[in-house]
């Protein structure tokens, strides 16, 4: 974006989880969770890792924030190797994961921040003001002295974010920051992330929400099955489907077999099917919709088709095309 200093440099980063003795019901096979991932993030950028569940996002962010040791490849953050430089690196970064864990529910919001400030050895004199400022920033000033167990989901998430800021990190890692939050709280959280970025913080976040990546990220990498499928600005991602069109079909008896047949047609680059109550909605990314409609219609002849229409591609379609790359 700003062509600025490189703050995160990732090269062929790989993580193989060792065979867990039958814990995962897969006969204890090892798992290649992150497969030779490479990317750079510049100072002040919001960079997103976008991908479906199981893509390897959390594994990647844990390796970059020194919580997990890579199997191979390398990564530096702020010029420090995430393995050999981890002790120096830790005070300068922070990680916020979504969900309920990592806070002390019996303590108040303020007490939680005091506890985490002490862990980072924030000096006594600075601590009180720092915590007051953070509570203000995340809108928890009035709830500061209430126990966290009384907090709503959104308040907990905001406290999580404040916790991630107690050490003034130069790089902030956010793992699915709006997962499970209601739309309004998600919106507030995104606004807060943007404010942090405007102050110059470098942010790497993961999400499986397309629109969130679109709205927040300067650049993003689309990741699935541990591999990066595409990288660029949200705008350039949309460009990649600009010359495609979409055939959208609603039917009553469309199954996995037809999905595969559609995907195998020449001229089709991706198919997604939403299975709804008693009907299915398929979106087919194609290079030439008018030319393909007869073939598609013939293929679905006995599938109780309700409608077929041509649509413009969205960022969602770009994403589906990249994640399902043939
Ligand atoms: N501790 C673990 N042991 C074995 N496999 C794991 C472990 N953690 C995650 N995995 C597997 O690695 C893959 C990537 O997981 P993860 O990084 O959590 O993906 P994401 O955050 O994108 O959902 C998944 O297939 C997951 O089941
Ligand atoms: Mg995850």
Which residue is closest in CA terms to ligand 1's atom 3? 17
pLDDT tens digits in sequence order for the chain, 326 residues long: 445 799 999 999 999 998 875 565 556 688 999 999 999 999 999 999 999 899 999 999 999 999 999 999 999 999 999 999 999 999 999 999 876 678 999 999 999 999 999 999 889 889 999 999 999 989 999 999 999 999 988 899 889 999 999 999 999 999 999 887 888 888 888 998 999 999 999 999 999 888 899 999 999 999 999 999 989 998 888 888 888 999 999 999 999 999 999 999 999 999 999 999 999 999 999 999 999 999 999 999 999 999 999 998 887 888 888 777 65
Of 52, 55, 58, 59, best ligand 1 pocket probe by most atoms within 8 Å of the beta carbon: 59
Q: In angstroms, what is the span from residue 226 Cα to ligand 1's centroid? A: 9
Q: Is the CB of 31 under 6 A from ligand 1?
A: yes
Quick one: pLDDT at residue 1?
A: 45
How far is it, in rounded angstroms, from Cα 200 to Cα 205? 15
Residue with tokens 């300068």: 92
Ligand nearest to the CA of 51: 1
CA of 225 to the centre of ligand 1 (A): 10
CA separation for the pair 316, 195 (Å, rounded): 26
Q: Which domains does the chain have, with CATH numbers?
A: 6-238 (3.40.50.300), 241-323 (3.30.70.260)
Q: What is the 60 CA–ligand 1 centroid distance (Å)?
A: 10
Instruction: Measure the CA–CA gap between 77 and 40, rounded to whole angstroms.
Output: 10
Q: What's the chain look like in SS3? A: CCCCCEEEEEEEEEEEECCCCCCCCCCCCCEEEEEEEEEEEECCCEEEEECCCCCCHHHHHHHHCCCCCCCEEEEEECCEECCCCHHHHHHHEEEEECCCCCCCCCCEHHHHHHHHHHHCCCCHHHHHHHHHHHHHHCCCCCCCCCEHHHCCHHHHHHHHHHHCCCCCCCEEEEECCCCCCCHHHHHHHHHHHHHHHHCCCEEEEEECCHHHHHHHCCEEEEEECCEEEEEECHHHHHHCCCCCEEEEEEECCCCHHHHHHHHHCCCEEEEEEEEECCEEEEEEEECCHHHHHHHHHHHCCCCCEEEEEEECCCHHHHHHHHHCCC
Q: For residue 222, count other CB atoms closer than 10 A to its CB.
A: 25
286 beta partners: 245, 268
Give 204 Cα–ligand 2 centroid separation in angstroms. Answer: 13
pLDDT of residue 6: 96
d(C-alpha 282, C-alpha 284), whole Å? 6
Prediction pTM value? 0.84
Taking Cα atoms as reference points, which of 37, 40, 30, 36 lies closest to residue 5?
40
What's the CA gap between 319 and 312, in Å, rounded? 14
pLDDT of residue 58: 96
Atom of ligand 1 nearest to the CA of 223: 22
Give yes or no for residue 59 CB within 6 A of ligand 1.
Answer: yes
Neighbours of 138 (CB within 10 A): 23
């Amino acid at each position: 974006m700003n062509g600025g200093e490189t703050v995160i440099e990732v090269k062929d980063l790989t993580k193989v989880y060792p065979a867990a003795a039958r814990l995962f019901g897969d006969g204890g096979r090892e798992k290649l969770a992150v497969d030779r991932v490479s990317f750079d993030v510049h100072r002040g950028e919001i960079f997103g890792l976008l991908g479906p569940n199981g893509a390897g996002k959390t594994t990647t962010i844990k390796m970059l924030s020194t919580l997990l040791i890579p199997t191979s490849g390398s990564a530096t953050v702020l010029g420090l190797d995430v393995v050999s430089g981890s002790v120096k690196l830790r005070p300068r970064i922070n990680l916020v994961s979504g969900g309920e864990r990592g806070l002390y529910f019996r303590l108040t919001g303020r007490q939680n921040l005091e506890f985490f400030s002490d862990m980072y050895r924030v000096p006594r004199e600075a601590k009180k003001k720092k915590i007051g400022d953070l509570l203000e920033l995340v809108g928890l000033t009035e709830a500061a002295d209430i126990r966290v167990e009384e907090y709503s989901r959104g308040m907990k998430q905001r406290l999580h974010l404040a916790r991630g800021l107690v050490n003034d990190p130069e790089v902030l890692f956010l793992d699915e920051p709006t997962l499970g939050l209601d739309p309004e709280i998600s919106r507030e959280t995104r606004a807060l992330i943007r404010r942090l970025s405007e102050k110059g913080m470098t942010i790497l976040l993961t999400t499986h929400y397309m629109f969130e990546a679109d709205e927040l990220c300067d650049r993003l990498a689309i990741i699935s099955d541990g591999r990066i499928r595409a990288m660029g600005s949200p705008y350039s991602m949309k460009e990649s489907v600009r010359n495609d069109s979409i055939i959208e079909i609603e039917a009553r008896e469309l199954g996995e077999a037809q999905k595969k047949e559609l995907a195998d047609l020449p001229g089709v680059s991706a198919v997604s099917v939403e299975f709804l109550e008693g009907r299915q909605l398929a979106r087919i990314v194609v290079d030439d919709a008018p030319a393909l409609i007869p073939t598609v219609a013939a293929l679905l002849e006995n599938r109780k088709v309700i409608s077929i229409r041509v649509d413009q591609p969205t960022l969602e379609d770009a994403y589906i095309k990249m994640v399902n790359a043939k």
